[in-house]
Every structure is written in structure tokens, then in C-alpha cells.
């Protein structure tokens, strides 16, 4: 569970139930500074003399705010829309896409006007009838670390429980999921966990739970009857990578219950980076061991017009062949969604 060093309440955020819950949860904790904003100037309340310090202080900060515009961003290909409940994350993963996308907002933010957000989701669902509409809850965040005291996901899962054509999904590396286990979900929410080898977790995923703890949480989620998926990402090629990823898959299969209601889904994403991301990462994690030598990669233009450094074609083929074969062999009831 995320215990922030400071919480910034935007104007009127305390008028909402979630805002109040968060306030009451922390109000007697002497180690948590509570700041009520009148101007909503967030950056001024977080020490920010340089990017290195701003990142670390930002990651200790929770902003409790109100979502203003109600146009949801699209979220292709994994969902139709992003559900804008939160942004940011408390983890310190060196490679994190949020370093680039939310580099000027490293703090976790929760929007407390959840009923308005869900009412808007309902409008989108109705617009697309009779087709299903899928909402992604973690497009710009990992929403789990603040869940124990916000109950935002709980509320959202209960909303989708009653929906015929609305589905919800989110992905996490964190394990504070106990409040989600005894609620009705009707299989309308899919929970995915991001997993990686112990080498990757230890070296590049600071302040995130161990593989063992993540698998323990996955077992609870499956026992609670949720559809469950795994994102194995980013996949790195290093000495013994095949052995390590095989061990991870075997350990996962051996640990999970066998009587699962839904096939397990797998999404496998090899490591890639942009020049902009690399420049930010090197400022925030100057001693990172992340493999980012441009000459070891090929440059590939993406659908959004900018390029990324990816593994060579031959290496990507090797990754695809390896994961296809191993997942096919190890898991019975599964779907491999993609390997890229």
C-alpha cells in the first residue's frame, strides 16, 4: 500500500466521498503532510530543483483531484477507451513509459468524481450498443497501490458487474488486491499482472513487489473468479534469458490453481525505447544498467510517427518462437494474444 509523504487535495476534492476517505485515512498520520490547495498548482508544492529530485519527491506524492473534461481517450488496440480514474504510479521502474509520457507529473493522482466518470462510461457503452465496450483502467497508471484506501477500483468493478455490454480491465505489478476479492464482478473485469524474471525485477523494477508476491496475488485473483491475464514485459535478451523466462513460466503454472474459469491470456512485449525516453531515463536513473545501446538495436518507425529502438528482426523471431513454444507446452487453458 502506498503511504505518501504528502497529499495535495485540489479545490473541492474533499466534497467527494473518495476524497474524504483518503483524508480520514491519513489525517492522524504525523508522517503524512496534508495540503489543501486553493490554486491547484501542484508542481509548486513538490520540491523540484532538478528532474532527478522531482521524480523522487513526485513519486512520494498523492494528488487528490477532480476530473474536468469528460472526453475519454481511445485506447487501441487493448480497449475502446481509457477510464480516467487515476494517473501515475508509485513504482520506480527504470524503463517505465510514464517517465516519458508523464515526466512532468511523476506523482500519483486520483480523480474523486468517480460517479461522473462512470456515468460518462455508461454513455459510451450506450453509443456502441449492441456491441461491447471495453475500458482500460491502467493506461496511464498502476491503480493498485492506492486502492486499499480509495476503493476506486472496487467501486468501478461493482459498476461493471451490473453492466451487460461494458467490460473493464486493468494491469498491475502490485499486490494490494484484498479489497477486490469478495465483491461481485460477474467476470466483467479482467485483471492482468505484469511479470518478469527475478533478474529484471531486481535490477530495473525498484519499489515493486517480488515475483513470488505477485504470483501469490494472482492465485487470489483466480480463486476470486476473475478472468486473469499476464503481460510479460519488457522481455530482455541477456545471458540465460531463456532459462530464466522458462523458469518463470513453469513456476507460474505450478503455483496457479488448475480449475480456472477463463483461459489465461498472455501478452509478450520485447524491450524497446525512444531517444526521448532514453534521455529522460539517464537523467532520472544515471546508473541504470538498462541495455540501451542504439548500435545493438534496429530503428523502427511506429504508428504514431516516431521511431523506437527495438531488438533485431532475428532476435524478435527468437523471442516469438521461444514464448510460443514454451507457453504452448506449459499451460493448458490459455490464449497467446500477441508477442511483439
Q: Which residues bind ligand SF4 (CB under 6 A)?
A: 89, 91, 93, 96, 98, 142, 173, 208
- Measured from the CB atom, is 142 or 267 closer to ligand SF4? 142
Q: Least separation, in Å, of the C-beta of 159 and ligand SF4?
A: 23
Task: Specify whether the CB–CB gap between 257 and 222 falls below 8 A.
Answer: yes
238-259 burial, b for 16+ CB within 10 Å, e for fewer?
A: eeebeebbbebbeebbeebeee
Q: Least separation, in Å, of the C-beta of 321 and ligand SF4?
A: 26
How many C-alpha atoms does 60 have within 13 Å on its Cβ side? 14
Give long-range contacts, CB 8 A cutoff, 24+ apart: 303-309: 306/274, 306/276, 307/274, 308/272, 308/273, 308/274, 309/272, 309/273, 309/274, 309/275, 309/278
Task: Specify whether the CB–CB gap between 47 and 54 falls below 8 A.
Answer: yes
- Measured from the CB atom, is 16 or 107 closer to ligand SF4? 107
Q: Least separation, in Å, of the C-beta of 173 and ligand SF4?
A: 4
Q: Write phi, then psi, for 117 (nearest 5 degrees).
A: -65, -45
* Beta strand segments in the chain, E: 6-9, 33-36, 61-65, 81-82, 86-87, 92-93, 108-111, 133-136, 166-172, 189-195, 205-206, 228-235, 264-270, 272-273, 298-301, 307-310, 334-339
Q: Write phi, then psi, for 173 (nearest 5 degrees).
A: -115, -5
- Measured from the CB atom, is 20 or 100 closer to ligand SF4? 100
- Measured from the CB atom, is 98 or 256 closer to ligand SF4? 98
- Measured from the CB atom, is 67 or 94 closer to ligand SF4? 94
Q: Least separation, in Å, of the C-beta of 199 and ligand SF4?
A: 16
Q: Least separation, in Å, of the C-beta of 142 and ligand SF4?
A: 4
Q: Least separation, in Å, of the C-beta of 92 and ligand SF4?
A: 6
- Measured from the CB atom, is 263 or 291 closer to ligand SF4? 291
**Residues, the chain:** 340
Q: Least separation, in Å, of the C-beta of 98 and ligand SF4?
A: 5
> What is the distance, to the nearest Å, from the Cα of residue 82 to the centroid of all Cα atoms in its chain?
12
Sign of the CA dihedral 55, 86, 335, 183? positive
- Measured from the CB atom, is 64 or 96 closer to ligand SF4? 96
- Measured from the CB atom, is 19 or 142 closer to ligand SF4? 142
Q: Least separation, in Å, of the C-beta of 81 and ligand SF4?
A: 19
Q: Least separation, in Å, of the C-beta of 259 and ligand SF4?
A: 30
CA distance linking residue 149 with residue 152, whole number of Å = 9
- Measured from the CB atom, is 159 or 273 closer to ligand SF4? 273
Burial level of 41, CB count in 10 A (0-12/13-18/19+)? exposed
> What is the distance, to the nearest Å, from the Cα of residue 153 to the centroid of all Cα atoms in its chain?
13
Amino acid at each position: 500500500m502506498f503511504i505518501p509523504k504528502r497529499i495535495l487535495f485540489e479545490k473541492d476534492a474533499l466534497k467527494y466521498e473518495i476524497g474524504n476517505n483518503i483524508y480520514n485515512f491519513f489525517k492522524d498520520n504525523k508522517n503524512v503532510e496534508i495540503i489543501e490547495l486553493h490554486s491547484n498548482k501542484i508542481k509548486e508544492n513538490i520540491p523540484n530543483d532538478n528532474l532527478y529530485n522531482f521524480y523522487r519527491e513526485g513519486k512520494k506524492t498523492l494528488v487528490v483531484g477532480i476530473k474536468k473534461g469528460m472526453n475519454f481517450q481511445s485506447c487501441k488496440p487493448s480497449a475502446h477507451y481509457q477510464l480516467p480514474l487515476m494517473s501515475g504510479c508509485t513504482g520506480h521502474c527504470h524503463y517505465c513509459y510514464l517517465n516519458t509520457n508523464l515526466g512532468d507529473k511523476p506523482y500519483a493522482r486520483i480523480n474523486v468524481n468517480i460517479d461522473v466518470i462512470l456515468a460518462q462510461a455508461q454513455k459510451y457503452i450506450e453509443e456502441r450498443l449492441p456491441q461491447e465496450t471495453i475500458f482500460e483502467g491502467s493506461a496511464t497508471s498502476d491503480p493498485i497501490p492506492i486502492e486499499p484506501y480509495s476503493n476506486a477500483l472496487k467501486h468501478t468493478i461493482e459498476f461493471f458487474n451490473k453492466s451487460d455490454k461494458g467490460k473493464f480491465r486493468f494491469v498491475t505489478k502490485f499486490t494490494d488486491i484484498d479489497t477486490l476479492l469478495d465483491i461481485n464482478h460477474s467476470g466483467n473485469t479482467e485483471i492482468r499482472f505484469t511479470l518478469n524474471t527475478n533478474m529484471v525485477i531486481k535490477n530495473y523494477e525498484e519499489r515493486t513487489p517480488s515475483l513470488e508476491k505477485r504470483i501469490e496475488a494472482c492465485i487470489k485473483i483466480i480463486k476470486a473468479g476473475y478472468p486473469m491475464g499476464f503481460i510479460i514485459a519488457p522481455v530482455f535478451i541477456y545471458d540465460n534469458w531463456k532459462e530464466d523466462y522458462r523458469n518463470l513460466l513453469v513456476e507460474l503454472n505450478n503455483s496457479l490453481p488448475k480449475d480456472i474459469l477463463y483461459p489465461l491470456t498472455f501478452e509478450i512485449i520485447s524491450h524497446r525505447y525512444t531517444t526521448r525516453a532514453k534521455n529522460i531515463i539517464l537523467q532520472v536513473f544515471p546508473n541504470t544498467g538498462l541495455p540501451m545501446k542504439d548500435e545493438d538495436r534496429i530503428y523502427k518507425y511506429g504508428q504514431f510517427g516516431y521511431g523506437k529502438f527495438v531488438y533485431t528482426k532475428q532476435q524478435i523471431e527468437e523471442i516469438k518462437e521461444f514464448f510460443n513454444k514454451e507457453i504452448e507446452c506449459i499451460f493448458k487453458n490459455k490464449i497467446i494474444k500477441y508477442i511483439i
